[in-house]
């Protein structure tokens, strides 16, 4: 029978004790968001660490590292990000074009160029949409009814009695109280009496001027008759 101590020895040997390097790599992975310049780190260690980075983290590490080309480690990572961001079909098209032209371009540069191209296309679409909204808004405003600020001059005709005629009073804008006051003024007894007096004077002058006068040959009118007629006309004209 196997003793209990022997079993514990076997289990202890089967357990893998992490090395100091493994502990350092795991610590770097846990704090990958704080990494910057990794130029002095071996590629085989970076391969284990940088595979846990996001796009922004990997971009930051590459831009922060000076004097060391990380593309041998990060190129495959950028190809993966390109495929995730722009699709497998677009990735295959890029691979085929590089094969046909016998070119090798870093996937980081391809990713940045494609991202810039998409942003420019999006901005153009936004500008076109904004321009269409502005044109539609201008078209709607041009079809709206606009009120004229100019007011036509009001022609107020004087009546024979020197006041405002009733027709103009009806057409004059104002409150009901003002209209009523003006109508009361026109229809008042004083205005009617004044109009009647003027009509009477006009009728009297017309009657006097139409009275038959002795027809005398031109130039033979006597001085006495002319003297009588002149004061008579002068007296009525004063009315």
pLDDT in tens, 184-230: 766 777 767 777 777 776 666 666 555 544 454 444 444 444 444 45
- Rounded to whole angstroms, the Cα distance separating 167 from 158 reads 11
Contact 68, 92 (CB under 8 A): no
Distance between CA atoms of 71 and 104, rounded to whole angstroms? Answer: 12
pLDDT at 113 (0 to 100)? 92
pLDDT of residue 116: 92
Instruction: Write down the pLDDT at residue 130.
Output: 87
Q: Is residue 53 exposed (0-12), middle (13-18) or buried (19+ Cβ within 10 Å)? A: buried
Give the pLDDT of residue 6: 52
pTM of this structure? 0.50
pLDDT, residue 227, reads: 46
Residues 50 and 74: beta-carbon distance below 8 Å:
yes
Using 70 as the pLDDT threshold, list the residues of the chain that sit under it: 1-15, 145-177, 185-186, 191, 201-239
- Tokens for 4? 């209990």
Note the pLDDT of residue 8. Answer: 58
At residue 219, the pLDDT reads 47
pLDDT at 58: 95
Helical ranges in 70-175 per DSSP H? 71-86, 88-101, 107-142, 166-171
pLDDT at 4: 57
Residue-level pLDDT at 25: 92
How far is Cα 109 from Cα 114, in angstroms, rounded to an integer?
9
Separation of alpha carbons 213 and 207, rounded Å: 12
pLDDT at 103: 87
Q: How many CB atoms lie within 10 A of CB 234?
A: 9
CA atoms within 13 A on the CB side of 182: 17
Question: Residue 141 has which token pair?
Answer: 């405003």
Neighbours of 100 (CB within 10 A): 8
| Spatial separation of the C-alpha atoms in residues 47 and 57, rounded to whole Å | 14
In angstroms, the first-to-last Cα distance of the chain is: 160
Backbone angles phi, psi at 144, to 5 degrees: -75, 150
Distance in angstroms (rounded) separating the CA atoms of residues 5 and 9: 6
CA 238, distance to chain mean position in Å, is: 73
Beta bridge partners of 164: 158
Which tens digit of pLDDT belongs to each residue from 175-190?
A: 566 777 777 766 777 7
């Amino acid at each position: 029978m196997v003793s209990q101590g022997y079993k514990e020895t076997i289990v202890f040997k089967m357990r893998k004790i992490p090395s100091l390097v493994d502990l350092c790599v795991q610590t770097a992975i846990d704090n990958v968001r704080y990494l910057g310049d990794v130029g002095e780190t071996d590629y085989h260690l970076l391969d284990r660490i940088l595979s846990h980075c996001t796009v922004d983290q990997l971009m930051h590490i590459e831009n922060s590292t000076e004097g060391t080309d990380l593309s041998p480690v990060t190129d495959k990572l950028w190809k993966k990000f390109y495929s995730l961001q722009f699709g497998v079909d677009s990735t295959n098209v890029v691979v085929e074009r590089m094969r046909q032209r016998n070119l090798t371009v870093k996937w980081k540069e391809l990713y940045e160029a494609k991202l810039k191209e998409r942003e420019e296309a999006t901005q153009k679409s936004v500008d076109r949409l904004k321009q269409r909204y502005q044109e539609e808004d201008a078209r709607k405003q041009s079809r709206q009814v606009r009120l004229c600020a100019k007011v036509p001059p009001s022609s107020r005709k004087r009546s024979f009695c020197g006041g405002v005629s009733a027709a103009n009073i009806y057409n004059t804008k104002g409150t009901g109280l003002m209209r009523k006051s003006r109508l009361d003024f026109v229809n008042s007894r004083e205005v009617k009496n004044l109009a009647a007096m003027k009509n009477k004077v006009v009728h009297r002058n017309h009657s006097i001027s139409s009275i038959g006068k002795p027809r005398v040959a031109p130039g033979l009118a006597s001085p006495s008759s002319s003297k009588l007629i002149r004061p008579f006309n002068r007296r009525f004209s004063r009315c």
